[in-house]
Amino acid sequence: MPLARSLSVTSLSGLEEWDEEFDREDAVLFEIAWEVANKGVHVSFLGYDVSMLMYHCTHLHAYLQRSTLKFKFRAGKIFFYVYFGRWLIEGSPYVILLDVGFTAWSLDRWKIELWENFSIGVPWFDREANDAVLFGFLTAWLLGECDEPPHIGAHFHEWLAGLGLVLCRQRQLPVATIFTTHATLLGRYLCAGSVDFYNKLAEFNVDKEAGDRQIYHRYCLERAAARCAHVFTTVSQITAVEAEHLLKRKPDIVTPNGLNVKKFSAMHEFQNLHAQSKARIQEFVRGHFYGHLDFNLDKTVFLFIAGRYEFSNKGADLFLEALARLNYLLRVNHSEVTIIAFFIMPARTNNFNVETLKGQAVRKQLWDTAQTVKERFGKKLYESLLVGQLPDVSKMLDKEDFTMMKRAIFATQRQCLPPICTHNMLEDSSDPILNCIRRIGLFNSAQDRVKVIFHPEFLSSTSPLLPMDYEEFVRGCHLGVFPSYYEPWGYTPAECTVMGIPSVSTNLSGFGCFMEEHIADPSAYGIYILDRRYRGVDESCNQLTSFLFQFCQQSRRQRIIQRNRTERLSDLLDWRYLGRYYVSARHMALAKAFPDTYIYEPQEPTSATGFRYPRPASVPPSPAHSLHSSPHHSEAEDEEEPYDEDLEVEKDRVNIRQPFNLPNRNKNQTVGLPEKN
């Protein structure tokens, strides 16, 4: 019986079945973060959440179940409201919301206490840091009031929630604390300043650098949380090195961020979903480029970059430069392939661009005209056949039909080039992406084989311009490009992977390093790893251009094969597997906080440090490994390319190996379990 392509983690021979959850009758876990149910934080085995109330009370019940309870607590002379309910996401986790607004009048007193006990001063003008102080003191008070069950674990995420951890340790509360930094605060600022960050990590004067950027108080809160925690974790090996130098503590364990693969899973339907979503993107392109639609949409490749608008950190600068070089290569090689690159990064705008909206209106008008003519044509054809006569084609379309079509064609006349940006930018003259486009000269002209569309707003299915959710949009594209210089993990390429879309990442991102460790030949599986650590900017740009040019040379069938291989990697990123690292961190914290009750016996990593997916048995689709890959070769050549998907899946299943041994959790062992008297 052939093996199904969509494998679960437990079905792979190299992975032991694992269903361990944080479920102890004498312990409770609090997950503490700045925002409720942070993406990438919640998995099925997480316990309660303590989080800041980020929404007005009038909107609260839109996000929590109707059975939400509202309590009024008194902490000394302070009254504040606490909301308790279930969050309306998959798994429906319990949530506790702290309304910090009622405690704002205590801010000065608590800041004095913060200075006297920790020598950390928070300036009055930093509203976010002030809210973090309020949230930290309320969190510490709430944890201090818990007396049942006797053992409490608290997992704090990022510097915004870190003060609560520091106060727990200072007050000697019986709480096992864990601190996870998903990205160091100072690291993000330094990378945005165009410094040689990774090669000079050991040389930075961290106090001076933080002070120069006016974030010293924030940096102190983050560093204090990292130093005080029983267990310090981070999301990737590259961030672990960064944290060791900037926060002066080596992480105890790396806890990679996973995804709920079941949410994205489409089994064998994911190829059909790609075709459907691609057709919707093509409709948008028809409207956007009306009057200049001089390229074949069937030979058009959609690339995209998305995420926080950090021009250098996210690699948008490198991507644009590579697109300019790719445009030159495609033109000199007389390629029939057209590239449309989407930039989905939120920026300050005031409305949609009129010319962009007009394009979609013109497209709809043309569609309506075609439908009207088709109905009239069909009616005449039906009547002719009804009387038993073959239709006279010359009489099927009358003068009125031709007039209607000519008017529609006249409406498509355009005196300007298709717009680069879909919105009116508030800071057009200083926008980094637009200025870079002006410099490299990619203006969507007829001669350009690379077109650029900048959508400075997150995608939404309710948008009148591009009515698609982000997930639908990703499924419709051919390649995600994320050449980040600073990316502690990288959810965007991970989401591409679980949806079967190839992507470009870097060896400076947590995702890229994770895939390099676990896959013998990442590019064969549609994971292109760009070297930004050991190469200069120009060399990295040339490498990215080479990746893109090679991808453009693939035939349609080669891209389908590659998408099959990419989707097969989704189990690597499933919380069902990666969640074990979070559970291990919590057991470690309980053992450190309550050594008389809990025992933690870590095991040394074995030589098998990764899954090591093998290179696919068939010829890889990347032109880097294939001499005959070309957009012009015949379908007969495609058919000769050996490819047996079931055989490849079976070999992956046999060759997969467990990354490293976590503490064994067999019932007969005491790892992470209370000692028996």
Among 462, 437, 472, 468, residue whose Cα is nearest residue 341: 437
Residues 353 and 419: beta-carbon distance below 8 Å: yes
Q: Given pLDDT bands bounded at 50, 70 and 90, which one contains residue 25?
A: low
Average pLDDT of the chain is: 82
Domain final position from 571, 603, 631? 571
**Domain shared by 173 and 307, yes or no:** no
Question: At 394, which helix (H) or strand (E)?
Answer: helix 393-396
Quick: pLDDT tens for 168-208. Answer: 999 999 999 999 999 999 999 999 887 889 988 999 999 99
Whether the CA torsion 483, 484, 487, 492 is positive or negative: it is: negative
Q: Is residue 603 part of a domain?
A: no
Q: For position 100, what pLDDT does the model report?
A: 83
Cβ atoms of 162 and 224 closer than 8 Å: yes
pLDDT at 381 over 80: yes
Distance CA 356, CA 162 (A): 45
Flag whether 241 is in a domain.
yes
Confidence at 496, pLDDT banded by 50, 70, 90: very high
User: pLDDT tens, 430-468?
Assistant: 999 999 999 999 999 999 999 999 999 999 999 999 999
Q: Can you tell me the distance from the alpha carbon of 420 to that of 414, in angstroms, rounded to the nearest whole number?
A: 15
212 and 63: one domain?
yes
**345 has a pLDDT exceeding 80:** yes
Q: Which residues of 257-271 are buried (b: 16+ CB within 10 A; e: fewer)?
A: bbbbbeebbbeeebe
Task: Please check whether residue 307 lies inside any domain of the structure.
Answer: yes
> How many other CB atoms sit within 10 Å of the CB of residue 140?
23
Q: What is the pLDDT of residue 649?
A: 67
Based on the fold, state whether residues 391 and 245 are members of the same structural domain: no
Is pLDDT above 80 for 17? no
Lowest mean pLDDT among 41-55, 210-224, 567-581, 592-606: 41-55
Q: What is the pLDDT of residue 489?
A: 94
Asked if residue 435 and residue 345 are part of one domain, the reply reads yes
8 Å CB contact between 525 and 493: no
Of the ranges 213-227, 304-318, 384-398, 657-671, which one carries the lowest mean pLDDT score? 657-671
In a domain? residue 154: yes
Exposed / middle / buried, residue 577 (Cβ in 10 Å: 0-12, 13-18, 19+): buried
Neighbours of 414 (CB within 10 A): 15
Tokens representing residue 408 in the block: 């529609």
Q: pLDDT at position 612, please?
A: 59
Please check whether residues 283 and 391 belong to one and the same domain: no
Contact 135, 100 (CB under 8 A): yes
- Between CA 89 and CA 263 the distance in angstroms is 11
Q: Between 646 and 604, whose confidence is greater?
A: 646
Judge if 54 and 166 occupy the same domain: yes
Q: How far is CA 475 from the centre of its chain?
A: 14
Say yes or no: 546 and 482 in one domain: yes
Spell out the residues 6+ positions from residue 639 whose beta carbon is closer than 8 angstroms to its own.
Answer: none
Over 487-506, what HEC string results?
Answer: ECCCHHHHHHHHCCCCEEEE
The domain that contains 565 carries what CATH number? Answer: 3.40.50.2000
Q: Which residues pair with 477 in a beta bridge?
A: none
Among residues 221, 254, 287, the one where a domain terminates is 254
Percent pLDDT > 70 in the chain is: 78
CB neighbour list of residue 49: distance below 8 Å, 6 or more residues apart: 30, 31, 32, 33, 36, 37, 42, 87, 93, 94, 95, 96
Q: Check: CB of residue 505 under 8 Å from CB of residue 484.
A: yes
Whether 309 and 349 share a structural domain: yes
pLDDT in the model for residue 189: 93
SS3 sequence, 166-212? HHHHHCCCCEEEEEEECCCHHHHHHHHCCCCCHHHHHHCCHHHHHHH
Contact 254, 238 (CB under 8 A): no
Out of 537, 571, 605, a domain closes at 571
Average pLDDT over residues 463-484: 96
Residue 528, SS3 per DSSP: strand
Nearest-angstrom CA–CA distance, 605 and 253 = 12
CA distance 664 to 655: 22
Cα separation, 601 vs 146, whole angstroms: 28
Question: Is residue 625 domain-resident?
Answer: no
CB burial string 304-320: b at 16+ within 10 A, e below: bbbbebbbbbbbbbbbb
391, 349: one domain: no
Helix axes 107-118, 158-170, angle to 10 degrees: 70
149 cis-preceded (ω within 30 degrees of 0): yes
Give backbone dihedrals phi and psi of 528, rounded to 5 degrees, phi first.
-90, 120
Q: DSSP for 260-291?
A: -HHHH--GGGHHHHHHHHHHHHHHHHHHHTTT
Total number of domains in the chain:
3
Let me know whether 136 and 208 are in one domain.
yes
User: 166 and 43, same structural domain?
Assistant: yes
Q: Which pLDDT belongs to residue 160?
A: 93
The verdict on residue 480 lying in a domain is yes
The more confident residue out of 243 and 614 is 243
Helical residues (DSSP H) of 32-126, grouped into ranges: 107-118
Say what the pLDDT of residue 206 is: 96
Q: Say whether 60 sits in a helix, a strand or coil.
A: helix
- pLDDT value of position 388: 87
Task: Note the pLDDT of residue 11.
Answer: 30
Q: Rg (Cα) of the chain, in Å, rounded?
A: 28
Q: How far is Cα 146 from Cα 11, in angstroms, rounded to an integer?
A: 41
Q: Which residues pair with 303 in a beta bridge?
A: 341, 479
Query: Among 159, 158, 245, which Cα is nearest to 209's?
Result: 245
Residue with tokens 């961290």: 206
219 or 617, higher pLDDT: 219
Element (H, E) at 343: strand 338-344
What do you get for the CA distance between the two ends of the chain, in Å? 51
User: What span, in angstroms and rounded, lies between the C-alpha atoms of 529 and 507?
Assistant: 6
The Cα–Cα gap between 122 and 136 comes to 13
3-class DSSP state of 89: coil
- Percentage of the chain with pLDDT > 90? 55
Q: What is this structure's pTM?
A: 0.83
User: For residue 7, is it within any domain?
Assistant: no
My answer on whether 226 and 336 are in the same domain is: no
* Domain contains 222: yes
Give the range of the structural domain holding residue 166, as residue numbers without chain letter. Answer: 18-254
